Structure 1
């Protein structure tokens, strides 16, 4: 069994990030990852999953933000936000599908972005949304878009390693907080 976690990357002033987290009503640990960049790690509501998209949207009012979700080290989903609205989505493996059923009890398969496929369909493979220009505003200083593009397209590693490569390419001083669970973040002593 692999790792699963959900985190938010927020940019802006710490006081604004704290106010946004407080207004969300979610319990979270805020940790620095670079100049005016913060990992926000919310508590899991059911011990397994924490809602991050609404939190990232709220925090993006002060600057770009992203929600990251890793599921059992198999797949990474990132949603990018600006001004309170989503502007880009990333999925590390489009062929990773979950079972579901439609209103008529027919089996339907869904990718982690919620796109449906019939059981006989062949979904695309590889990453979706591997656009370095969309991710670059989240980084610190001058981000090398070639390095970031390679990190977004790599595909050879598990989702945790893939996420590490992406946040490393965004030039964060310490990317570890973006790959922690709430319990790990709370125990780390890095919260501000």
Structure 2
């Protein structure tokens, strides 16, 4: 079994980040990862931390942006970029990674981790979806290495957490807090 974690990279003033976390009612650790850049690490419930609603809230203040990162079992990264309280970009590191689901008629279908269904006998596209460095670059700290960012988003990498590290490194933020579970973040004693 590989690594699984869910985190949020948020920009903005610490006071606004703390206010959004408090208003969400969700328990989370906030750790600095660069100038006006924050790792927000929500508590996991049954092994999973919900991030989307919190990222929406974190992206609402003027000029703020947030991105969710979900690393699943070291196999795949799902990310979403949020501005003004709404989703503006989706990323999936490997479109061919499928999960079983059921349709409204209780028929088994396959879906990718963005929820897109694939009818029986249909092969999903290969490679990443949404590997757009320009969508992620505003989350970084200048100088963002857009060439390295593009390469990291395109992959492939044998372990999703290594690919995630490369993405964060290219954004010029401190990667480790954005690769922690809530419990690891709590034990790190780096939360503000």
Structure 1: stretches of 5+ with no match in the other structure: none
Give the match for residue 18 of structure 2. 18
Distance apart, 1:191 and its partner CA: 0.4
Q: Distance in 1 between matches of 2:157 and 2:68?
A: 22
Q: Distance in 2 between matches of 1:156 and 1:76?
A: 11
Q: Distance in 1 between matches of 2:177 and 2:31?
A: 7
Distance apart, 1:142 and its partner CA: 2.3
- Whether the 8 Å contact between 2:93 and 2:155 is mirrored in structure 1 is no
TM-score, with structure 2 as normaliser? 0.97
Q: Which deviates more, 107-116 or 139-148?
A: 139-148
TM-score, with structure 1 as normaliser? 0.97
Runs in 1 of length 4+ with deviation above 3 angstroms?
Answer: none
For residues 59-74 of structure 1, what are the structure 2 equivalents within 5 Å? 59-62=58-61, 63-74=64-75
Let me know the Cα RMSD of the aligned residues.
0.8
Q: Does 1:38 align with 2:29?
A: no
Q: Distance in 1 between matches of 2:72 and 2:152?
A: 18
- Whether the 8 Å contact between 1:11 and 1:37 is mirrored in structure 2 is yes
Distance apart, 1:64 and its partner CA: 0.8
Secondary structure at the counterpart of residue 30 of structure 2: strand
Q: Distance in 1 between matches of 2:147 and 2:3?
A: 28
Give the match for residue 88 of structure 1. 89
Q: Distance in 2 between matches of 1:37 and 1:7?
A: 13
Give the match for residue 178 of structure 2. 178
Aligned length in residues: 190
